[in-house]
Amino acid sequence: MPEKKNSEKSPPVRSGELESAAQFKREFASGVAVFGTEAGCGKTIFMTGLSAALRDEGFPTRAIKPFVLASRRDAENELAFISAITHTPVNYPIVIMDKASSVQEGNWQQAANMITSRQHLTFVELPGSPATPILYEHTSAGTVGAAWKDAASFACDLGLPCILIAKHNKDALEKIMLAASFLRSRDANLVGVGTVETSECSSQDELKLTKSELELAIMNNAKTHYLGAIEYSPSISVPRVNQGNLIKVTSAGVDLLHVLRSLGASASLSKSSS
């Protein structure tokens, strides 16, 4: 068989691996920007679970959060949560965007440099929503000017594919449409949308659409794919750095194969049947 020689050179890491690491590095984007429709929508959980689930399948992934919009204590917990589950060392520059600090050009460039390496597929979580200002222009006098770069600018500057995350509740579709529209206005490459149940929904907050209906609405109106949902689990907590069954619920609710194809895998990509 003509493909046998190549498969012997790059044997799968495990029977469940979706593709060899060598082919992965050749064909996939080197980084993915992860946005939320708002702060606290579950993007840290989604990014962390997705990165860890792909890593368990044999892919070289990592997850970073270079700009953290939180108090120092909350920021440290978020970074520890991401690092513990994805096995990504927190050995990169971090900017905690509290009231006393802001992102500088040097911070922006350092974060960009983390993603240009093709040794890993790097998921980078950006703060707030795509429209959240991150880097302000400064005047010659050192004061803040009228211009700024927002979270979407980071992805657009680097040409990164984007994933958008929303809370899985009654407001999900409206917020997804607003954020997706903003990303389209910036010519960003939105490759998929995911949702996260951040708490046990009451009947009044419950999303009334089925998964198929939500998928169709996102495809028709946001012109992108629905990647799936991560169900609420009381054993998963970012503030308490408790990973619970995150990898399991991510693999169950998110179509990993679809994610990989959205990020640039070949059309023939498929799971091993063994």
Residue 134: which residues within 8 A CB-CB, separation 6 or more? 67, 97, 103, 108, 126, 127, 148, 149, 150, 151, 153, 154
| CA 29 – CA 47 distance, rounded (Å) | 16
Can you give the pLDDT at residue 269?
36
Strands 189-196 and 161-167 turn out to be parallel
Can you give the pLDDT at residue 263?
80
Walk along the chain (274 residues) in steps of 10 and give the mean pLDDT of each run. 42 41 53 94 97 91 93 94 96 80 80 77 94 79 72 92 95 95 95 92 76 92 94 95 96 92 56 33
Can you give the pLDDT at residue 28?
54
Can you give the pLDDT at residue 215?
92
Q: Which CATH architecture best describes the domain 18-136+145-262?
A: 3-Layer(aba) Sandwich (3.40)
Can you give the pLDDT at residue 210?
86
The domains of the chain are located at 18-136+145-262
| CA 83 – CA 270 distance, rounded (Å) | 29
- On whether the pTM is more than 0.85, the answer is no
| CA 126 – CA 130 distance, rounded (Å) | 8
Q: Is 140 exposed, middle or buried (0-12, 13-18, 19+ CB in 10 A)?
A: exposed
| Residue type at position 204 | Q
Closest to 196 in 3D by CA, of 36, 33, 31, 32? 36
CA dist 42 → 34, 112, 135, 165, 237 (Å): 11, 23, 23, 7, 11
Closest to 163 in 3D by CA, of 198, 124, 137? 124
Can you give the pLDDT at residue 52?
97
Can you give the pLDDT at residue 272?
34
